Amino acid sequence: MPKVWLVTGASRGLGREIARAALDAGETVVATARSADAVREAFGDHDRLHARALDITDAEAANAVAAETAERFGAIDVLVNNAGYAELGFFETFTDEAVRRQFEVNLFGTMNVARAVAPHMRRRRAGLIVTISSVSGLVSNAGGAVYSASKFAVEGWMEGFAQELAPLGVRSLLVEPGMLRTDFMDGKSARFGSIDIPDYAEAIAQYLAFVDGANGNQPGDPKLLAARIVPLAAQDDAPARFVFGDDARQWAGAKVDQLRHEIARSADHD
């Protein structure tokens, strides 16, 4: 039986590919973005696609979209909490406002949507919340401190929330991709620090050169990831986490090794 998917940030990037993959699998998709017209332009006419405007930082709007979806289709089977963006650059080059905006979207906006959808899933004792995190939610590097902080927070929140939901029949899947070939690193999604600090000038120039070179040349294929997420969503025994991409698995594996080493060294000092 076809399922009902609610996908945020669906007008471009990974969200668009996930929505397309779900449609290709015969599912009904309520696809949201800040502009419903942008969703329609991305997909054209499709009888199982329903475009809705949603700014995820607006909790009332999230509640309205969730309620409308549940009432119209009878259920929300899969939520894909995908919408987000990146503040890329060295921490001290960001204003407090920029840092707070990163958390407002990536963490609190994601929470808004989950909080709006979870009651509908709990009533049915069924459903799956797919949270698009990042390997940057497991590993942080120079130039990614602010973005990683928001994704680390998403990981911690969702890891605990998933355990609260599980006894009620609601499942969770955290998706942690490496670098994907989307517009994530250009001005459509990413923002960059605005405060000039000479001490960081050389390192920042090297970092920005890396971003420019990587943009559009990322190793990960978002269509392939989307094609993996849809069948995972159909599995009753889907993993709690899905680390996607050789780069992500390498970085996450190195972090695990580092933690094991540091835990062992800590024991030496007990």
Task: Give the residue numbers annotated as catalytic, written as ranges.
Answer: 133, 147, 151
Contacts of 45 (CB under 8 A, 6+ apart): none
Give the closest residue to 133 by CA, choosing from 110, 114, 100, 108: 110
Contact yes or no for 175/135 (Cβ under 8 A): no
H/E element, 193: none
Which of 67, 169, 171 lies closest to 120, judged by CA? 67
Amino acid at 137: G
Q: How far is Cα 6 from Cα 30, in angstroms, rounded to an integer?
A: 5
Considering only CA atoms, which of 181, 155, 167, 130 is closest in space to residue 27?
A: 130
Cα–Cα separations (whole angstroms), residue 238 to 105, 121, 222, 234, 241: 27, 17, 20, 8, 8
Distance CA 58, CA 65 (A): 11
Burial of 180 (0-12, 13-18, 19+ CB in 10 A): buried
Q: Are residues 112 and 100 in contact, defined by beta-carbon separation less than 8 angstroms? A: no
